Amino acid sequence: MRKESATTAKLKLITQYVSHIEFKVGKSSHELSTLLKEIKPEITFQILPGYRHLDNNFYEVSIEAVVHSKVEEEKTEIFTLNITYCGICQLEGEGFENDKTEKILLINVVTLIFQFLRKEVAGIILSGGYPAIMLDPVDFEKFYYEYQSKSKKDEREELTDFGKEVGEE
């Protein structure tokens, strides 16, 4: 029989939602139908995870993503999607030391909500008349540690490209 630990740390994802969407269409799918048969568009995406402390042990974790599609040879902008996806989570119990909170939020919670962001991106692009695009998976742990080591090289610089707490100066 397994014994339960008296001090258990729990992470609860309370809710999740899209907080911002901006979808700009440069060329309609109809206008591009001939062009796209011959040339494959270039798709790029950038992501910026972040978080902010709400109260007590509640946090809002966000992922801002920009998905851009263009045909370089033709200098044709197809579309740009800017979306911010958020999750409200609660860290309860003991075991969430302050130095580990950021790591949990920017690795574990971001990894958890990223799959839902991917679904939203695919649906929005499909609703815009284009073939659905599924964003590639991201190793947020690797990403986090790369930016942590970058940050340690310059102690005066905050993490500006990854995991900056919202409202931080």
- Does some domain include residue 103? yes
Helices within 21-139 (DSSP H only): 29-38, 98-103, 110-127
Query: Is 162 among the domain residues?
Result: no
Is there a domain that residue 22 lies in?
A: yes
Q: How many domains does the chain have?
A: 1
Residue 112 belongs to a domain: yes
The reported pLDDT for the residue numbered 125 is 92
Task: Indicate yes or no: pTM above 0.85.
Answer: no
The CATH number of residue 117's host domain is 3.10.420.10
pLDDT of residue 98: 67
160 in a domain, yes or no? no
| pLDDT on residue 154 | 53
Note down the domain range covering 98.
10-151
Spatial CA neighbour of 158 closest among 117, 109, 102: 102
| Cα(76)–Cα(73) distance, integer angstroms | 8
163 lies in some domain:
no
Report yes or no on 161 lying in a domain.
no
In a domain, 75, yes or no: yes
- How many CA atoms, within 13 angstroms, populate the side-chain half-sphere of residue 140? 21
Residues in the chain, pLDDT under 50: 1-3, 5-6, 155-161, 163-169
Q: How many CB atoms lie within 10 A of CB 93?
A: 13
The confidence score (pLDDT) of residue 76 equals 81
pLDDT attached to residue 49 = 94
What's residue 47's pLDDT? Answer: 93
